[in-house]
Amino acid sequence: MGIISWIIVGLIAGALGKMILPGDDPGGFIVTILIGMAGALVGGLLVGLLGGTGVTGFNLWSILVATVGAIVLLAVYRLWRAP
């Protein structure tokens, strides 16, 4: 997958992750993209461990996998930062 595809999938996944888990997280647009891109890696790893195909390109399945990964990352971050 090209860098532009990673950025677009990351943006969509990060935005969807923030919509599903709203809250006051530090960072703005760039952090949302980075969370989405890292979420694609985490989601791809999790789906791969379960025997499925991870992020395969710019398609609906990849966005879904990346969004699940972004949600996992946001949840772990919030647990780690909880007072």
Q: What is the pLDDT of residue 25?
A: 67
Q: At 78, is the pLDDT very low, low, confident or very high (cuts 50, 70, 90)?
A: confident
Has residue 83 got a pLDDT over 80? Answer: no
Q: By residue range, what is the domain housing residue 36? A: 3-81
70: CB partners within 8 A, 6+ apart: 13, 14, 16, 17, 35, 36, 38, 39, 40, 42, 43
Has residue 5 got a pLDDT over 80? Answer: no
Our count of domains for the chain comes to 1
Tell me: the pLDDT tens digits for 22-72?
A: 877 666 667 777 777 788 788 878 887 887 776 677 788 888 888 888 888
User: Among residues 79, 83, 63, 78, which one has the least CA distance to residue 27?
Assistant: 78
pTM of the model: 0.77
